[in-house]
Structure 1
Amino acid sequence: MDAPQRRRFAGWALFALAVVLFLLSLPLVIGGGYLLYLGGSPYFLLAGIAILFSAVLICRDSPWGVWLYVATVAVTFAWSLWEIAGKGWMPIWQVDLMARVGVLLALMIMALLLLPAMYRRLGRYPPASIRYLGVIVLAGFAAALGLLLLGTHTQTSGTTADVTNTSPTDTPDSTDWVAYGGTNSAQRFSPAAQITPANASQLEKAWEFNTGDEPHSDATPYAFQNTPLKVNGSIYVCTQSNQIFALDPSTGEQQWHFDPQVEREALEHVFSAACRSLAYYEASEEIDQCAHRILMGTMDGRLMALDAEEGTPCNDFGEQGTVDLYEHMDPQAPGYLSNTSGPTVVNDVVVVGHQVTDNQRRDGPSGAVRAYDAVTGERRWTWDSVWTTPDQQPDEGEVYPRGTPNVWSAISADEDLGLVYLPTGNSTNDQFGGDRQPAEDEFTSTLVAVDAQTGEVEWKFTTVIHDLWDYDLGAQPALIDYPTSDDARQAVVQATKYGQVFVFDRATGEPLSPVEERPVPQGTIEGDWTSEVQHFSPGMPSFGSLPGQPVEHLTGAHTWGATPVDHLYCRIQYQRMRYEGMFTPPTLDGGGMLQFPGILGGINWGSASFDDGRNLMIVNNNRMPSRVVLYPRDEADEMENIAPIGDQDASYIDQQAQPMRGAPVAAERGAWLSPIDMPCTAPPWGFISATDLNSGEIVWSRPLGTSVDQGPFGIPSRLKMTVGAPTSGGPVATRGGMTFIGATMDDYLRGFDSANGRMVWEQRLPAGGQATPMTYMHEGRQYVVIAAGGSFQAQTTLGDSVVAYALPE
């Protein structure tokens, strides 16, 4: 290329740079001015003006344009560090900084590389001082970013603490996984000890099974969230459409398959098409058939019993192996009432709750929990917040009270005490409670201990009073021996979406860890009310945001974006939303309400794992705010796809907003995201932590998950940076000292040393691991198994795999 050509190329390159800077400056000037008007930071307006002047000067071949832009980037760098320091140098703060300056820095490098060409176009040779200054600036920024990347690496290794790693000396009698949480105690702990932190790096795939279960249409929100059971010589897997497979524990080969032929419409009307667990029952007395049974609740309202050895219906259970869960319920539409978490069997009784798709109508199906004889399927009792006669049922043609709090999560049980523990949700409209009956409020977001034989309430504790935030109890209650100053007490531990962990005496409900009432923000929409106080558990760590710390009060500095423009968008939204800290009530103001912790939690259905040998509670939690916007009824009725399920053919995921029919408002809600589908708050967005139950202190905590499978507009970044991803699913701990977890929005299963949080193994999965893994011993070999089929709601890779890992034979 000769000199004239080089000059022409340089001219076009400088013009292109000026155009890019000009286009970048416009939203910063306009949006920055609006942000300043709303009372936000002046940075964006000032930066936009400086970049605009830089663009004009560069277009006129003035080197001062480049240096003005370099100064703007330097100020941005300093301003970013100042804001990051102001919110406490959170884990992986370097990712926050890189996002704030990355785009500007890339353009600055381009400008400095073109600077000599600019001087040549002016017929001048750049002074030596200018050349050296450009090199110094580039080298300085490169060194700073190098140090930051090094810091990111060391930060993500996690915080360690000295916890005794007890070496197993006994051989467990059984390591079968016979219930969703391992046993009805739901500790998610296995006595298997073959795999340890010392040898876990050798884990390899032992077998993989593909179910072949795929969504019928784009309107079917599949989520393979199953935790398989392992009983005697079989693994039992339940798929998204309630198909059951029995597999060989050593090879994964199919032993039998049962397809209940769930209605297609039912799968399209649910929040997520999922079958988290099955239940296993072994008859306590000799019976004619099906002495060993697999029980399943389906998406279309059936409770089914199958022979565990053959996979055929148990004809003595209900009608030809099926009990109708729609009886006296009036489901109003296929799938509106469904069972996703599976039944629980205790002392010859099958207890089953159900999911009711959120925020559709006030007169939705009842939240009634029912118990049936495990052999005959005969109804034993019904518990409901309003239905006060558990041993009776409505007359022919009548239904249980409509719209009452349901139990959609997994139920735990103490066979010796004869109690089942019900974690309740909300009445059918989450964000409006002005029409709730006192009995509904009494049992909303409440842990309820019920007699397994009669359904009578023994004790209860309401976590969130008059819940307007959908902080229903998603985590399964866990039954553990809780250390106290006197002795270990039989306890039930209830984790919550708003990050509090409560501990009660199993038999009496007496708090074993302090419970406080604290004042919260007031004022909600006309016709509703808010409680002046809410319950907190200061004796246990909070998992509402950064583990072990009080929930952050978000400020404009917490906002974030992958580019300056979407960062500014999030900053404007923050200024427009109502936000007064935790428990800010919903509002009709146009900007909506910022909810933190978000609707996802905190701690959700993944629950906690308890290492009884080390007295550790291991839990993953989310740090993702939600945005909730309410629409007046008359405005909502004009919106598209706003009719509740049962009044239209569109699926739940098609609704522009959730109709909340019967309330004066409709609700649009979800994670607080920018226009490019990235979170509006800086990472980390998810953690895994271990708490010493003796002291109540966190002994280690680390961000969990990387950015490799996520990015702007849902396009995978392929950058494997630890950012702490939102999680869906939970951990399992073992006596061998390992904790295994999938759950993140990248497609990995990971293994951690339970004592110090050091990651010792990870394996790429064929699809998203939005399920809780399990582990078992079989013929002298320990296996770790996870359902890897992804989740529509989590936007992870969909698939149909069940994968087992083990040490080499």
Structure 2
Amino acid sequence: MTEAATKPAGGWAAAILGIVVIACGIAFVAGGGYLVALSGSPYYLVTGILLLVAGAMALRGRALGGYLYAAFLLVTLAWGFAEAGAEPWALTARLFAPALLGLLFLLPPVSRKLGKGALGAGLAGAIGVIAVIGCFALRDSHDVRNTVPAGALAAVPEDAAGDEWTAWGGTRSGARFSRLDQITPANVGKLESAWTFHTGIAPDAASGYLSATPLMVDGKLYLCAQDNSVFALDPETGKTIWKVDPKVSPKGASAVRTCRGVSYVRTAADGVCAGRIVSATFDGRLMELDAADGKPCPGFGKNGVVNLYAGMGVVNPGFYYSSAPPAIANGKIVIGGWVADNQSTDEPSGVIRGFDLLTGELAWAWDAGNPANVHGPAAGQAYSRSTPNAWAVMSADEKLGLVYVATGNPTPDHYGALRSPASEKYGSSVVAIDVASGAVRWSFQTAHHDLWDYDVPAQPTLFTLNKGGAQFPAIAISTKRAEIFVLDRRTGQPLIPITEKPAPQRGAVEKLAPTQPYSAVHSMAGPDLTEAAMWGLTPFDQLWCRVRLKQLRYDGKVTPPGLDEALIYPSIGGGMNFGGVAIDPMRRLLVTNALYYGTIVQMVPRAETEKLRAAVDSHSVTSFGVPLPQEGTPFGVRLTPFASPLGVPCNNPPFGRIAAMNLDTGKLAWERPFGTARDAGPFGMALGLPLAMGAPNFGGALTTASGLTFIGAAREKAFRAFDTRTGDELWSVRLPASAQTLPMTYRGPRDGCQYVAVTAGGHNMLQSPLSDTVVAFRLPGCKDGHSRGNPVK
């Protein structure tokens, strides 16, 4: 018998596996050595050396190769639990791929060659896989679970939404709560699609995305599309009653262009324009339409249109538009506008204007930079340039005569040394404005000298707070910082404590605010990032993210921009974005959702910015591949996501959470990951894995008297219902696209059925495919008018 015949077969397989292990070792040693040089963890360098030796032994057919790989896996298992505990996603990044590689040692060709060494590696691999799967199996669906027993329910507020949904947030208070209770936690699982509506407007990234929250009033459902077309639908069938296309050109449009909804007001019992739809267009028109037939309202402006560019000075295409439905209160239409980020120190004004509801005449203007412009600028003059804008939905208290305006930070966003005193005072704030006169009653700033694009993105929400046996008219302000501030809406004074805390100063190129405000309400920001909090689909992109974090300047929350790369976390998108909060006044809970990823910011000197921008031919508002100009300042700014080369956020999952807090104390009631990985994956691919890792999300929730919370919002193509008191998921359904909007609910005017409707338009910035769809759901027993449902309470 020859010597070759006496050797165990499978040398080729063991050699290949050895080469793979060596390649892993090289990556670990190279990246791990660099990480150690950055004062990072020595784990990768040490285990990389172990992998090199293990791979070399396996390549030579030595059993020691298997034993050493088993040792690597056991060290990794111990290190993983020591660094991340039993958190399954954290263990997955560290252990799952290496454990699967360990199982390959059990392949017959390899085990015949390496003998008991292969068995050891395979056994360690099995232990690793079982450990990860076991942590997933044992994990509760919540991060924090409500242990407070259900108490007596408070009464439904008199002004709560009921049969109709008359404003973007249900009512002008923006509470997003409905007294309807036909759909309950017991029967929500039976919901089925009642109708589907398609706008027929082809969605594409250039024309924005569909995200309107419909209204239902006077027997019709109203919404706007991403081209500003306005539709009136039959609320029980979804069929079009009328459509108005204002013929808005998409030329020069912003990359974030959207129409989030229209407003409704009744001005007479009957007749022409007794009910009016109010909407604004991307090209600066404020329109009033007869809710009955969509025709322009006579007597309002010129042929039913008011020119919003009047008094604005130069408005370049794509630099200014109103994304939110106008606020209507006490006979006034109050409107602000979105202004392009990071373009110039000379951009359109963020002026807030009040127009007469019937005539469209300017009643007042709040120009933060020049209060003398209260009746509009003089001939040849313009409202103050680059003052804080207001792109979020407003809320109103007609009894107090106040409208509550959420402002953004002044342009340009990441350099503030040239801002005016008015911009410094009113940027990233909520401002209470007298509806009758336009005078400021009070203001509260959520981020001082904002250099992070921490606009107040959401509608301020009005509710009644119980404290010490007394009731207070309150306002909840949610922010991109993921802080929620609760104030007395009469005065702006805190009802739940707010503390000023020192802010990081290192690395800034300008004078900073020494402190920033923090609320005693539970923060959705999460802990500051650490090396151990870095994540990846494999140990290799996790190592990349660890190195990347060490390369960045990061001193925790509100780390300032500078000439080096700095990390903003929560990112420029939040935290919380335009979805805001929903109130359940009966269970005394506030429900909100947040996203978790970071943004890398770097100030780029003017000469370099101009050189880089000259090399591209792109519209300045939508070009993100080069530094944004910030013209008029010494720096452009480069913004990039804090993500691995696979396009996955570098921070640990969950990437999205939903939570409920006690309405009167701000204490956390429950919190859980929000969304799955079904429509996510590396490079933006959808892997179809329904794993609860949380998903980035834009949009908000709806609560009902029966104890349900409905929400789309996540990047995932899903619409869900949760038990408001416990946070348990009770129902979900697939949608044609993700739903970056607020859902709404109403009672069918003929069949008495409760409907829940949501716009499924997708979102280009979430890498979610776009759609032109609105879907409504109802209970099957209510079909064809067979049930009148429960009476409205």
Q: Which residue type is aligned with residue 140 of structure 1? A: I
- Asked whether the equivalents of residues 674 and 693 of structure 2 are also in contact (C-alpha less than 8 Å), the reply is yes
**How far does residue 683 in structure 1 lie from its aligned partner after superposition?**
0.6
Which of 340, 343, 367 is 1:357 aligned to? 340
**How far does residue 688 in structure 1 lie from its aligned partner after superposition?**
1.0
- The corresponding residue for 2:666 is 696
Structure 2: how far apart are the matches of 1:9 and 1:385?
A: 82
**How far does residue 786 in structure 1 lie from its aligned partner after superposition?**
0.3
- Asked whether the equivalents of residues 642 and 655 of structure 1 are also in contact (C-alpha less than 8 Å), the reply is no
- Residues 318 and 115 of structure 1: CA distance in aligned 2, closer, same or farther (over 3 Å): same
Structure 2: how far apart are the matches of 1:156 and 1:532?
A: 33
- The corresponding residue for 1:47 is 47
Deviations 1:532-577 (A, max 9, x none): 1111222x211212xxxxxx13211111111222112111111111
Structure 2: how far apart are the matches of 1:478 and 1:716?
A: 35
Structure 1: how far apart are the matches of 2:91 and 2:120?
A: 24
Q: Which residue type is aligned with residue 407 of structure 2? A: T
Alignment of 1:241-252 (within 5 A): 241-252=227-238
- The corresponding residue for 1:178 is 166
Q: Secondary structure at the match of 1:50?
A: helix
Tell me, yes or no, if structure 1 residue 501 matches structure 2 residue 484: yes
- Asked whether the equivalents of residues 595 and 655 of structure 2 are also in contact (C-alpha less than 8 Å), the reply is yes
- Asked whether the equivalents of residues 67 and 120 of structure 2 are also in contact (C-alpha less than 8 Å), the reply is no
Tell me, yes or no, if structure 1 residue 587 matches structure 2 residue 575: no
- The corresponding residue for 2:512 is 530
- Residues 641 and 81 of structure 1: CA distance in aligned 2, closer, same or farther (over 3 Å): farther
Deviations 1:42-94 (A, max 9, x none): 11222222222222222222221222122112211211211113xxx6xxx20
- Asked whether the equivalents of residues 177 and 229 of structure 1 are also in contact (C-alpha less than 8 Å), the reply is yes
- The corresponding residue for 2:219 is 233
- Asked whether the equivalents of residues 344 and 412 of structure 1 are also in contact (C-alpha less than 8 Å), the reply is yes
Which of 239, 258, 261 is 1:277 aligned to? 261
**How far does residue 114 in structure 1 lie from its aligned partner after superposition?**
5.1
Structure 2: how far apart are the matches of 1:173 and 1:75?
A: 58
**How far does residue 11 in structure 1 lie from its aligned partner after superposition?**
3.5
Tell me, yes or no, if structure 1 residue 119 matches structure 2 residue 113: yes
- Residues 80 and 310 of structure 1: CA distance in aligned 2, closer, same or farther (over 3 Å): same
Structure 2: how far apart are the matches of 1:365 and 1:674?
A: 37
- Residues 379 and 385 of structure 1: CA distance in aligned 2, closer, same or farther (over 3 Å): same
Q: Which moved more, 1:346-355 or 1:45-54?
A: 45-54
Tell me, yes or no, if structure 1 residue 557 matches structure 2 residue 532: yes
Q: Which moved more, 1:420-429 or 1:6-15?
A: 6-15
- Residues 692 and 169 of structure 1: CA distance in aligned 2, closer, same or farther (over 3 Å): closer
- Asked whether the equivalents of residues 221 and 791 of structure 1 are also in contact (C-alpha less than 8 Å), the reply is no
Tell me, yes or no, if structure 1 residue 544 matches structure 2 residue 519: no
- The corresponding residue for 2:58 is 58
- The corresponding residue for 1:22 is 22
**How far does residue 325 in structure 1 lie from its aligned partner after superposition?**
1.3
Q: Secondary structure at the match of 2:575?
A: coil
Q: Which residue type is aligned with residue 246 of structure 1? A: A
Structure 1: how far apart are the matches of 2:110 and 2:423?
A: 73
- Residues 39 and 299 of structure 1: CA distance in aligned 2, closer, same or farther (over 3 Å): same
Structure 2: how far apart are the matches of 1:506 and 1:791?
A: 33
Q: Which residue type is aligned with residue 543 of structure 1? A: M
Q: What 5-or-longer segments of structure 2 have no aligned partner? A: 783-793
Alignment of 1:325-344 (within 5 A): 325-344=308-327
- The corresponding residue for 2:604 is 631
Q: Which residue type is aligned with residue 568 of structure 1? A: L
Q: Secondary structure at the match of 1:723?
A: coil
**How far does residue 380 in structure 1 lie from its aligned partner after superposition?**
1.1
- The corresponding residue for 1:748 is 718
- Residues 12 and 321 of structure 1: CA distance in aligned 2, closer, same or farther (over 3 Å): farther
- Asked whether the equivalents of residues 161 and 756 of structure 1 are also in contact (C-alpha less than 8 Å), the reply is no
Alignment of 1:141-220 (within 5 A): 141-152=128-139, 154-155=141-142, 159-164=146-151, 166=153, 174-215=162-203, 218=205, 220=206
Structure 2: how far apart are the matches of 1:703 and 1:191?
A: 27
- Asked whether the equivalents of residues 207 and 227 of structure 2 are also in contact (C-alpha less than 8 Å), the reply is no
- Asked whether the equivalents of residues 751 and 760 of structure 1 are also in contact (C-alpha less than 8 Å), the reply is yes
Q: Please report the RMSD computed on the Cα atoms of aligned residues, expressed in angstroms.
A: 2.5
- Asked whether the equivalents of residues 484 and 519 of structure 2 are also in contact (C-alpha less than 8 Å), the reply is yes
- Residues 600 and 465 of structure 1: CA distance in aligned 2, closer, same or farther (over 3 Å): same
- Residues 463 and 167 of structure 1: CA distance in aligned 2, closer, same or farther (over 3 Å): closer
Structure 1: how far apart are the matches of 2:458 and 2:314?
A: 25
Structure 2: how far apart are the matches of 1:533 and 1:169?
A: 40
Deviations 1:684-737 (A, max 9, x none): 121111111233321111111000100111111211110111210000000111
Tell me, yes or no, if structure 1 residue 105 matches structure 2 residue 86: no
- The corresponding residue for 2:249 is 263
- The corresponding residue for 1:548 is none
Q: Secondary structure at the match of 2:375?
A: coil
- The corresponding residue for 2:474 is 491
Alignment of 1:76-95 (within 5 A): 76-85=76-85, 93-95=87-89
Q: Secondary structure at the match of 2:36?
A: helix
- Residues 116 and 215 of structure 1: CA distance in aligned 2, closer, same or farther (over 3 Å): closer
Structure 1: how far apart are the matches of 2:613 and 2:9?
A: 51
Deviations 1:731-787 (A, max 9, x none): 000011110000111111000111111111111111111111011112311011000
**How far does residue 655 in structure 1 lie from its aligned partner after superposition?**
4.2
Q: Secondary structure at the match of 1:488?
A: strand
- Residues 12 and 476 of structure 1: CA distance in aligned 2, closer, same or farther (over 3 Å): same
Tell me, yes or no, if structure 1 residue 681 matches structure 2 residue 651: yes
Structure 2: how far apart are the matches of 1:426 and 1:292?
A: 36
Q: Secondary structure at the match of 1:265?
A: coil
Which of 734, 758, 774 is 1:786 aligned to? 758
- Asked whether the equivalents of residues 641 and 655 of structure 1 are also in contact (C-alpha less than 8 Å), the reply is no
- Residues 788 and 176 of structure 1: CA distance in aligned 2, closer, same or farther (over 3 Å): same
Structure 2: how far apart are the matches of 1:163 and 1:362?
A: 53
- Asked whether the equivalents of residues 255 and 621 of structure 2 are also in contact (C-alpha less than 8 Å), the reply is no
- Asked whether the equivalents of residues 361 and 661 of structure 1 are also in contact (C-alpha less than 8 Å), the reply is yes
Q: What 5-or-longer segments of structure 1 have no aligned partner? A: 121-125, 546-551
- The corresponding residue for 1:549 is none
Alignment of 1:593-604 (within 5 A): 593-604=566-577
Structure 2: how far apart are the matches of 1:555 and 1:157?
A: 22
**How far does residue 25 in structure 1 lie from its aligned partner after superposition?**
2.7
Q: Secondary structure at the match of 2:370?
A: coil
Q: Which moved more, 1:658-667 or 1:349-358?
A: 658-667
Tell me, yes or no, if structure 1 residue 801 matches structure 2 residue 776: no
**How far does residue 263 in structure 1 lie from its aligned partner after superposition?**
1.0
- Asked whether the equivalents of residues 301 and 335 of structure 1 are also in contact (C-alpha less than 8 Å), the reply is no
TM-score, normalising length: structure 1: 0.91
Q: Secondary structure at the match of 1:638?
A: helix
Structure 1: how far apart are the matches of 2:268 and 2:632?
A: 47
**How far does residue 602 in structure 1 lie from its aligned partner after superposition?**
1.9
- Residues 710 and 158 of structure 1: CA distance in aligned 2, closer, same or farther (over 3 Å): farther
Structure 1: how far apart are the matches of 2:154 and 2:173?
A: 23
Tell me, yes or no, if structure 1 residue 719 matches structure 2 residue 719: no
Structure 2: how far apart are the matches of 1:701 and 1:274?
A: 30
Structure 2: how far apart are the matches of 1:544 and 1:502?
A: 13
- Residues 279 and 65 of structure 1: CA distance in aligned 2, closer, same or farther (over 3 Å): same
Structure 1: how far apart are the matches of 2:5 and 2:385?
A: 78
- Asked whether the equivalents of residues 687 and 703 of structure 1 are also in contact (C-alpha less than 8 Å), the reply is yes
**How far does residue 447 in structure 1 lie from its aligned partner after superposition?**
1.0
TM-score, normalising length: structure 2: 0.93
Q: Which residue type is aligned with residue 80 of structure 2? A: S
Structure 2: how far apart are the matches of 1:578 and 1:254?
A: 54
Structure 2: how far apart are the matches of 1:721 and 1:278?
A: 36
**How far does residue 170 in structure 1 lie from its aligned partner after superposition?**
11
Q: Which moved more, 1:633-642 or 1:706-715?
A: 633-642
Q: Which residue type is aligned with residue 608 of structure 1? A: V
Deviations 1:234-287 (A, max 9, x none): 1112111111111111111111111111112143xx13121111111111588x
- The corresponding residue for 1:72 is 72
- The corresponding residue for 2:366 is 383
